[in-house]
Amino acid sequence: MDRRGFFAFLGLLGSMPILSKFAYGRSKKLGFGDLRREAEINVVYHADFGEEKRFRTMLRNIRNHLSVYDNDPTKVKIVIVAHGAGVKFFMKDLTGSPWEKENIDTKAMEQELRDLNIYGVEPLICEITIKRLKLDAEKLYDFCKIVPSGVGAVGELQAKGYAYIKVQ
Residue 61, domain CATH: 3.40.1260.10
Strand partners, 124: 81, 145
**33-37, 47-51, 146-150, 156-160: least confidently modelled range:** 33-37
- Is 90 within a domain? yes
- Is 9 within a domain? no
Give me the number of domains the chain comprises. 1
- Is 1 within a domain? no
Domain range holding 71?
28-165
Q: What per-residue string of b and e applies to 6-42 under the rule 16 or more CB within 10 Å gives b?
A: eeeeeeeeeeeeeeeeeeeeebeebeeeebeebeebb
pLDDT tens, position by position, 120-167: 999 999 999 999 999 999 999 999 999 999 999 999 999 999 999 999
pLDDT tens, position by position, 92-106: 999 999 999 999 999
The pTM of the full predicted model, rounded to 2 decimals, is 0.82
